[in-house]
Structure 1
Amino acid sequence: MNTPSEDYHALLARHEAMRLRRRILAPSGSSAGEWSAEAPQAYDGTADQLLISDSLPLVDPLEELIAELYRNLFERHPYLRSLFPESMAFQQAHLAGIFRYLIGNLHRTEEMIGVFGQLGRDHRKLGVRPAHFEAFEAALIEAMRMRAGIRWTHALEQAWLRMLRLAVSAMVRGADEAIAEPPSWEATVTSHELRAPGLAVLRVRPHQPYAFEAGQYASLESPLLEQAWRPYYLARAPHPDGELEFHVRAQGADGVSDALVHGTREGGTVRLSAPRGALALPDHLPSADILLIASGTGWAPMKALLQRIDADRSRAQQVRLLLGPAGPEERAAEEMYDAAYLEAFRRGRPWLTVIAADATSARFAGPGLRALNGILPPQPGAAARQHAYLALAAETPSAGPVQAVAARLVAAGVPAEQIHHDATGMVAVTEMSASTTRTGLLSA
């Protein structure tokens, strides 16, 4: 049962969302913070994109601009500091990545609206309210004015404001549309098993029903690092017992992954975001063959997808799994940390072919691409009937961008629309730092 305080804050949040939905994007010259939850109807971001790109030298480097932004924000609104993690390093790099993505894709207005609508839904877990965006906008404009000095112009400021309000309007609308969805889920750790030094398999049970699909990911927060969230693939298809499984590799940076691997024990708790991602299979499995390509802990979503496929064998498609290691040769022995499960699963399932890439040459951006020759059908036109799902471990120094694998598949005849991965769009914007390679696995 909600307390009177909880009911009041829920009503207040709803009121704010409805108020902003009725407002329209501020015309040129309007005061900060006047945006709408509705998308602009006739906005062409191409001109603003050129103007903003040309103005970047005035405020670069973006990381310093963002540091100044947060200084302004916290000086004027000290209470907002509690919405952020203790260390701001990842947050600042994360925001720099968002700005670069926004500027680089501003001409794709409809795509941007969808991307930032998802971002708004995801920000609900942080306790963000529409009024916070207004404070953020004011702090950003102040920071840009300070860095550019007399070279800053009204035209530049209006272009930045239009870009920001496009994104924020979509975020507010996305948050409003998700009003019936919990902002986060509490979960109890039911199992914590170290499979290798710095690599743990966790099972957790949410305290409330948690609906998701095999192949999706969720962001996790450890109580050891409040307000710091990192995404991890769900390594188990939905099961009646309600338990979720995650595969986490510590990064040695005292971040969320390290807290989950080294500081989490059975009986502890974590928080989960809503499930997201592009690897979920359609409701009705395609009759075409399926390619699953993974490295390192990118095996996690493939494990869930195999369970999902196994539960629906009404079709006779073949499944090929290409599995490569995530690290250099000296780590290869530990890489297939779930080998016993995979071997047991493979037995008695003739529809599944497992191809393990050579540990010393499984570089998916180089020689390892040749391993695809063993997983793609040689018959002319057969590749066009394949559906491919990719998850390459982000911690893999030799993996290369997942786009390299996607390009190899397209060259072999697999249609681009039948290649699925989480390497672009929302994942890149919301979950990856600017310096992280955009690859399939999301752990950080």
Structure 2
Amino acid sequence: MLARHDAMRLRRRILSQGGATAPDSTPASYDGAADQQLITQYLGLVTPFGDLIARLYDEMFARWPYLRSLFPEGMDFQRAHLARAFWYLIENLHRPAEVAAYFRQLGHDHRKLGVRPVHYEAFEAALCAALRSTAGPRWAEAAEQAWVRMLRFAVASMVDGADAALAEPPCWQGTVTAHQRRSPDLAVLRIRLPEPYPYRAGQFAAVESPLIPQAWRHYSLASAPGPGGEVELHVRCTGPGGVSEALVSGTRVGDILRLGPAHGTMTLREEDRSRDLLMVAGGTGWAPIKALLEEWVGRRRGTGGLPQRPAGRVDLFVGARSRAELYDVAALTRLAARHDRLRVVQVLDVDVVPENVGPPAAYSPLAEAVARHGQRSHHCAFVSGPPAMVGATVARLTAAGMPADHIRHDPVPAPLIPPADGRAA
């Protein structure tokens, strides 16, 4: 009830401002294109966003010190995340319905951070102060009001997303039941959740370790939903001091982790059981593909409780830089031996020597192998792995004739590179 009260209070505040500063919270009524034009006109005064964001957080924590506890100790990831959010808003503001949907989901997710609607008011005040101090004397009031309208439109959508999920837990707490180091920088974890955790094979979730409070990172779930109430994670350490290092090197059996709500559209549909599929996994991108295969081979039951034989076939391509990096060979071998409708192709960078082009680019051998051996008759493809590998594979598949809407993959983070002319596209 308190959260709902805060949401109503924030809406009243936004809508009571009047005049040009109060956009209608419905996408059809918000003129995002007009604000986009105003914002981009003065964008050069506040970009790159590094200085603006640093001033924003300095201002917010100085005026409201208690808000610092909502953020992780290291702020680099948070600053980069906010910069991407700003660029997303500015580049897509002329599509308010798309922006509203994106920020409704973000508001749904932010509940796990302890963010309440009243905190957005502090963020707005800090942003306005940061815009003025960063832009200097050439800053215009009209540009600031456009930023405020843009922010309030996004915040209204976030509040809607949070308000719609009041009956759902903001996060789930689970106990680590297994922790296996498959290599010095990679671990496979199993986590038991005492209450039902809704997710589908192929989805991902944000995970928090108590070793780094308030730092959440996304990891794919490597097991299809089952009766045991456990989920599996495959985590590769990406550097010192982060969540991945905490999960790989600092986590033990019996430790408690928190999981946010599951997301992602890289999931099987009912009709996929009868169609030929292509699955491509690079590195720990094998995790969601493994979950999808678990579901495909018979999580659903036929008459008499017996597994229902899938009518379609799956061509599975698994890529790694070397044989040592194929960390889950036992599971691959079992799958290939038990299911004659599954064809497994392993692609190792070290085994591929492209003709007359020198050393291969990162993950290009896997993309080339898929394009060379994959068949256009596949109904759809599932692609998972590092962004460079996903991008290369998707490009090869579309060039080979597969429709883009037949290729499913997780969102690929956009690089922090503004448009060439400093304006929104």
TM-score by length of 2: 0.89
The answer for the alignment partner of 2:33 in structure 1 is 46
CA distance in 1 between counterparts of 2:178 and 2:255 reads 10
Distance 1:368 1:211 in 2: 32
Q: How do 1:96-111 residues align onto structure 2 when only pairs under 5 Å count?
A: 96-111=83-98
Within the candidate set 387, 390, 393, 2:383 is matched to 390
Cα distance between partner residues in 1 of 2:134 and 2:175: 46
Q: Distance in 1 between matches of 2:23 and 2:261?
A: 26
- Where 2:29 maps in the other structure, the secondary structure is coil
Distance in 1 (alpha carbons) for counterparts of 2:405 and 2:362: 21
Counterpart Cα distance in 1 of 2:337 and 2:187: 25
Superimposed CA distance per residue, residues 228-285 of structure 1 (whole angstroms, 9 cap, x where no aligned partner): 0000000000111111100001122210000000000001111000101121112443
Cα shift at 1:415? 1.6
* Cα distance in 1, alignment partners of residues 391 and 349 from structure 2: 21
Deviating more after overlay: 365-374 vs 402-411: 365-374
Q: Is the 8 A contact 2:296 2:310 kept in 1?
A: no
Aligned pair in 2 of structure 1 residues 80, 433: CA closer, same or farther (>3 Å)?
Answer: farther
Deviation, structure 1 residue 405: 1.9
Q: Compare 194-203 and 385-394 and name the one that shifted more.
A: 385-394
Are the equivalent residues in 2 in contact too, given 1:185–1:273 (CA < 8 A)? Answer: yes
Correspondence for 1:152 among 139, 148, 151: 139
The one-letter code of the counterpart of 1:324 is G
Moved more, 309-318 or 214-223: 309-318
Residue of structure 1 aligned with 2:284, choices 282, 297, 302: 297
Note the C-alpha offset of 1:363: 4.9
**SS of aligned partner of 1:276:** coil
Query: What do the CA deviations read for 1:210-235 (whole angstroms, capped 9, x no partner)?
Result: 11100001111000000000000000
Change (3 A) 1:367 1:196: closer
Query: Which amino acid counterpart does residue 319 of structure 2 have in structure 1?
Result: G
What is the aligned-residue identity percentage? 50
Residues 145 and 152, structure 1, Cα contact 8 Å, conserved in 2: yes
CA distance in 1, matches of 2:274, 2:362: 27
1:143 aligns with 2:118: no
Deviations 1:368-420 (A, max 9, x none): 4320234422xxxx43x5211111235xxxxx252332222122221211111
* Post-superposition offset of 1:104: 1.5
- Measured after TM superposition, the shift of residue 18 of structure 1 is 3.6
Cα deviations by residue, 1:271-317 (Å, 9 ceiling, x for unpaired): 00010112111244353211111100000000000000011445411
Aligned partner of 1:319 among 314, 335, 356: 314
Work out the CA distance in 2 between the residues paired with 1:93 and 1:214: 29
User: For 1:189-230, what per-residue CA distance to the aligned partner results, in whole angstroms no more than 9, with x for missing partners?
Assistant: 000000011100000011321111000011110000000000
Secondary structure at the counterpart of residue 280 of structure 2 = strand
For 1:221 and 1:357, the matched residues in 2 are separated by 33
Which of 406, 423, 426 is the matching residue for 2:411? 423
In structure 2, what is the equivalent of residue 343 of structure 1? 333
Report the CA distance shift for 1:147/1:109 in structure 2 as closer, same or farther (over 3 A): same
CA distance in 2 between partners of 1:241 and 1:40 (Å): 42
Distance 1:39 1:79 in 2: 32
What is the correspondence of 1:15-54 to structure 2 with a 5 Å cutoff?
15-20=5-10, 25=15, 26-30=17-21, 38-54=25-41
- Measured after TM superposition, the shift of residue 35 of structure 1 is 7.1
| Distance change in 2, residues 1:93/1:433 (3 Å) | farther
Please name the residue that 2:149 is paired with: 162
Q: Secondary structure at the match of 2:84?
A: helix
Asked if the contact 1:235/1:246 (under 8 Å) is kept, the reply is yes
Q: 2:77 aligns with which of 77, 86, 90?
A: 90
Select the residue among 363, 371, 384 that pairs with 1:373.
Answer: 371
Q: Which consecutive unaligned segments of at least 5 residues does structure 2 have?
A: 301-307, 353-359, 418-425
Q: How many residues align?
A: 400
Q: CA deviation at 1:56?
A: 1.9
Aligned to 1:209: 196
Which ranges of structure 1 fall in alignment gaps of 5 or more residues? 1-10, 395-399, 436-444
Structure 1 counterpart SS, 2:272: coil
- Alpha-carbon distance in 1 for matches of 2:71, 2:141: 31
Cα offset for 1:27?
4.4
1:364 positional shift:
6.5
The match for 2:112 among 92, 114, 125 is 125
1:404 counterpart = 2:392: yes
SS at match of 1:280: coil
Amino acid at match of 1:60: T
> Any conservation in 2 of the 1:390–1:420 contact (CA below 8 Å)?
yes
